[in-house]
């Protein structure tokens, strides 16, 4: 029987939105992983708030529709409580690089074993078009009518320097490649970060710019175990509109490192431990003086 991941929720993304590509890749990745032996009920999707967050409604998986910027701490709690669960985090660029950037750095540092997908459309779309930290300098949005004055953040570089052990970039309109990245992310033990270029058809459509410059790291001799080489590749595009930039997608870096779950010796889900606390008389005994 083919796995069904459909829900009855009405899809309200704009026609042509890159989010459809990410949703399709997610469903395809989970379907393939289940065929390979993963259990559907062991996947948990965590989303933030923004256009991307609606993905929670559109796929029939366990899910936590959390609040803006807090996908990663929510995911951390889930993993620590039940390390059997495969957590897929979905967040926006506003979510991750503005509201929740501290969590992003720390999750990478902890090597939290989740797959974290950022729908990076370089704009706040659900609030109708303001600049985010990854928007290019000079962008004229409703809150920056004279043009955004600051340079964009390069999240690939940030993730590499924060200690992420799987750093990748995908493209929302290359579903097959993105499906592969998500599967690799799930199979990776540790923090698997995938920044997805997801042009916003309404407020930040850079599809032509991207299409002319994109190429796959897998088609080159890039060595993903080489951190310096990964940093070099990350610098090829700084999320600006540089006409001379090249935009690599694929896996920049992959490494092995202890995860926070392993660090705390988490193996058995708490709900299954059936641990019985000591009777209350015994618990207070240590404070009895006479």
Partner 1 sequence: MFSSPSVRRSVLIGGQAGQGVAKAAELLGKMFVRLGYYVFNYRDYPSLIRGGHNFNVITFSDERIFSHDEDPPIVVALDKRTVDTHKAEFYITGSFYTPDRGIQINTNEALKQGIPPVSQNVILLGALAKYLGIPKSIGKEVVGELGPLNVKAFEFGYDRSVDGERAGRIPRKGLYFLTGNEAIALGALAWGIDMYIAYPMTPSTPVLHFLAKRKEVVTLQLENEIAVVNAALGASYAGANVMVGTSGGGFALMNEALSLQGMSEVPLVVYLAQRMGPSTGVPTYTSQGDMLYALHAGHGEFPRVVVAPGDPAEAFRMTMEAFYLAYRYRVLSIILGDKHLGESHYTMLKEEFRPLVRPERFYVFPKDGYKSYEDTPDGVSPMAVPGSIPFTVRATSYEHDEYGITTEEAHEIEKMVEKRLRKAETVEQAVSSLKPLDVYGEGEKVILSWGSTKGAILDALKGLKDWKFVKINYLKPFPRREVMNVLEDAKRIVIVENTSTGQIGKLLAMETGIITEDKILRYDARPFTPEYIRRRLV
* Footprint of partner 1 (CB under 8 A): 7-9, 41-42, 44, 46, 49, 54, 56-57, 60-67, 70, 72-82, 84-85, 102-103, 106, 264, 266, 269-273, 275-278, 280-281, 283-284, 287-290
Give whole-number Cα distances, 155 to 86, 128, 230, 248, 289, in Å.
23, 23, 13, 14, 57
Pick 146 or 272: Cβ nearer partner 1: 272
As measured in angstroms, the least distance from the Cβ of 171 to partner 1 is 27
As measured in angstroms, the least distance from the Cβ of 7 to partner 1 is 6
Pick 145 or 288: Cβ nearer partner 1: 288
The structure tokens listed for 131 are 């600049």
The structure tokens listed for 218 are 């897998």
Pick 54 or 188: Cβ nearer partner 1: 54
Pick 38 or 209: Cβ nearer partner 1: 38
As measured in angstroms, the least distance from the Cβ of 162 to partner 1 is 12
As measured in angstroms, the least distance from the Cβ of 248 to partner 1 is 30
Cα 97 to Cα 70: distance, rounded to the nearest angstrom: 11
Count of C-beta atoms within a 10 Å radius of residue 272: 9
The structure tokens listed for 248 are 């690599």
As measured in angstroms, the least distance from the Cβ of 281 to partner 1 is 7
Pick 79 or 169: Cβ nearer partner 1: 79
As measured in angstroms, the least distance from the Cβ of 39 to partner 1 is 8
Pick 106 or 216: Cβ nearer partner 1: 106
Helix (H) or strand (E) holding 54: none
By the 10 Å C-beta count (0-12 exposed, 13-18 middle, 19+ buried), 127 is classed as middle
By the 10 Å C-beta count (0-12 exposed, 13-18 middle, 19+ buried), 116 is classed as buried
DSSP assignment, residue 152?
Answer: P
Q: Please say whether the beta carbons of 199 and 206 come within 8 A.
A: yes
Q: Please say whether the beta carbons of 17 and 201 come within 8 A.
A: yes
Pick 97 or 237: Cβ nearer partner 1: 97
* Farthest CA pair distance, the chain: 80
As measured in angstroms, the least distance from the Cβ of 230 to partner 1 is 25
């Amino acid at each position: 029987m083919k796995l069904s991941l459909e829900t009855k929720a009405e899809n309200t993304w704009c026609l042509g939105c890159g989010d459809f590509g990410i949703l399709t890749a997610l469903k395809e990745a989970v379907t393939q992983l289940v065929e390979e032996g993963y259990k559907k009920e062991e996947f948990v999707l965590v989303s933030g708030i923004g256009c991307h967050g609606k993905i929670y409604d559109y796929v029939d998986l366990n899910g936590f529709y959390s609040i803006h910027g807090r996908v990663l701490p929510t995911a951390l709690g889930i993993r620590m409580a039940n390390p059997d669960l495969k957590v897929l985090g979905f967040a926006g660029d506003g979510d991750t690089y503005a509201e929740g950037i501290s969590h992003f750095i720390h999750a990478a540092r902890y090597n939290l074993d989740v797959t974290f997908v950022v729908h990076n459309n370089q704009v706040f779309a659900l609030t109708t078009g303001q600049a985010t930290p990854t928007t290019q300098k000079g962008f004229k949005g409703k809150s920056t009518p004279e043009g955004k004055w600051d340079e964009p953040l390069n999240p690939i570089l940030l993730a590499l320097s924060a200690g992420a052990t799987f750093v990748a970039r995908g493209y929302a309109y290359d579903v097959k490649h993105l499906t592969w990245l998500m599967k690799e992310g799930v199979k990776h033990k540790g923090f698997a970060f995938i920044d997805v270029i997801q042009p916003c058809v309404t407020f930040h459509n850079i599809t032509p710019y991207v299409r002319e410059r994109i190429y796959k790291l897998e088609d080159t001799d890039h060595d993903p175990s080489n951190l310096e080489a990964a940093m070099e590749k990350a610098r090829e595009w700084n999320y600006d509109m540089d006409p001379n930039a090249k935009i690599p997608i694929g896996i920049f870096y992959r490494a092995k490192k202890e995860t926070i779950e392993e660090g705390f010796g988490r193996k058995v889900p708490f709900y299954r431990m059936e641990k019985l606390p000591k009777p209350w008389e015994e618990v207070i005994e240590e404070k009895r003086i006479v």
